[in-house]
Structure 1
Amino acid sequence: MSIPSSSHPSLQKPAPTSNPPTSNITTTPTTTSPPPTPQTNPLEAKKIASLQAKITALQVQIQETEEKQKEVDAKLKHTDTQATVKAHIKLLHDYNEIRDVGQGLMGIIADTKGVRVRDVYQDFGVGEGD
């Protein structure tokens, strides 16, 4: 004769005797202050306005350079290859200088605003390929 396992005292699981311990440590949320805004700091507002004026001037300069490039491209169709290469190298050099200044200004704006450079690029509509 066999004894059912559920009725045999050695095979039954003991009942839990207490609840698991709880921690008495409480945490306080940390707060960080938002970056200063132009409304709170007039000096930064002037810096931002100055930088935005420089960016606008650089954008105009880029447009002028692109127009010159179109004119040069039209002229280059009737010139020799060495002159074409030299002209393109000059245009690339001009473009790279303008781009470097623009990126530097974007970095300064990001530092001033306390945000990432990527966020500033998005604010000005600059894509990754630009």
Structure 2
Amino acid sequence: MPEQNLEILRASITDLETQTAHLEAELAEITSKLKNDPNTTVRQHIRLLHEYNEIKDVGQGLMGMIADARGVRVVEIHREFGVREKD
């Protein structure tokens, strides 16, 4: 009985090694098709998000100044410029 269990385990290990080899080959193929290194892409996206947030903050500040100058609420300026709640 122990030898039978050992053979089952060996077959299972062989099957898992085969699956691992297939997955590694698939990963290599997909990675080779990437335009850039994934870490480079992530860093670029983070940089772009920071830049977007800075621009958005400036825009919000300008709309606040316009609202103050006109003596209206910022939400009214948002409506005037077509800025939606989720923008």
* TM-score after normalising by structure 2: 0.60
The answer to which structure, 1 or 2, has the higher relative contact order (CA under 8 A, 6+ apart) is 1
CA RMSD of aligned residues (A): 0.8
More helix, by proportion: 2
Superposed, 1:17-28 pairs within 5 Å as none
In the alignment, structure 1 segments of 5+ residues that lack a partner are: 1-76
In the alignment, structure 2 segments of 5+ residues that lack a partner are: 1-33
- SS in structure 1 of the partner of residue 72 of structure 2: coil
How many residues are treated as equivalent by the alignment?
54
Q: Which of residues 77, 81, 85 is equivalent to 1:120?
A: 77
Match of residue 45 from structure 2: 88
In 1, the alpha carbon distance for the partners of 2:81 and 2:36 equals 38
- Deviation at residue 129 of structure 1 after TM alignment: 1.1
The letter of the residue matching 2:40 is A
Structure with the greater alpha carbon radius of gyration: 1
- Structure 1 stretches of 4+ with a deviation exceeding 3 A read none
Sequence identity, in percent?
Answer: 59
